[in-house]
Amino acid sequence: MVVLFDDESGRAFPLWVADDDAAAIARAISGRGQSSSTDTHGLLWVTVRSLGAAVEHVELNGALHGVVTAAVTLSDAAGPLTLPARASDAIALSLRAGAPILVHDELLAQVASRLADAEARTAGHGPAAAEPVQMTPAERWNALLAHLSTLPKPYEG
């Protein structure tokens, strides 16, 4: 699982990714995969740079059948070009390029809704409980992780 945080708003976006993708993202974060072209993300990054382009930003922009969709926006002298991508590939590329990762508000709202449902279930209340359940941030994360672990993984057939 990858969790994207927005320091300004305090919002978070958890995303299930396959083990190989998680490893590529971890390498990009640690800087151990910055120049390698031996994996798909590395090859794409080397290709983008070789063409004189830059990664402007990536967007996690929707969900289709429970799988988060993304787009990578590149720019060069001809202008911007937006390409569809898997969310994990977009994240790994953005980390290599030092480009911002944007998450659409609709996706953040879906996570907030699921978190609220998980909090209510964890506290023994239904989603329509009369009084809001107060939880510490650690309790909220535990509730979210407990809820997410019950969902099917999109990469498992």
| pLDDT attached to residue 143 | 73
Q: Give the 3-state secondary structure percentages of the chain, helix then strand then coil, rounded to 5.
A: 40, 25, 35
* DSSP 8-state symbol, 4: E
Report the pLDDT averaged over residues 88-92: 93
Please name the helix (run of DSSP H) or strand (run of DSSP E) that holds residue 19, with its range, or none.
Answer: helix 19-30
CA pair distance 136, 146, nearest whole angstrom: 15
Per-residue pLDDT tens digits for 103-125: 998 888 887 776 666 666 666 65
Residue type, 100: P
CA pair distance 132, 119, nearest whole angstrom: 10
**What's the angle, vertex CA 28, arms to CA 108 and CA 138, rounded to 5?**
45
- DSSP-assigned letters across all residues of 43-71: HHHHHHHHTT-EEEEEEEEEEETTEEEEE
Per-residue pLDDT tens digits for 27-80: 888 876 555 566 787 888 889 999 999 999 999 998 888 789 999 999 998 999
| pLDDT attached to residue 92 | 92
| pLDDT attached to residue 151 | 60
Instruction: Look at residue 40 and give its three-state secondary structure.
Output: helix
The answer to whether the beta carbons of residues 39 and 17 sit under 8 Å apart is no
Per-residue pLDDT tens digits for 125-152: 555 555 555 667 777 767 777 766 666 5
* Domain at 2-103: CATH code: 3.10.690.10
Mean pLDDT, all residues of the chain: 80
| pLDDT attached to residue 34 | 53
**pLDDT category of residue 8 using cuts at 50, 70 and 90:** confident
| pLDDT attached to residue 89 | 92
CA pair distance 16, 2, nearest whole angstrom: 6
| pLDDT attached to residue 157 | 38
Q: Give the start-to-end residue ranges of the domains of the chain.
A: 2-103, 108-148
Distances, alpha carbon 67 to alpha carbons 12, 87, 108, 118, 154, in Å: 17, 9, 14, 20, 6
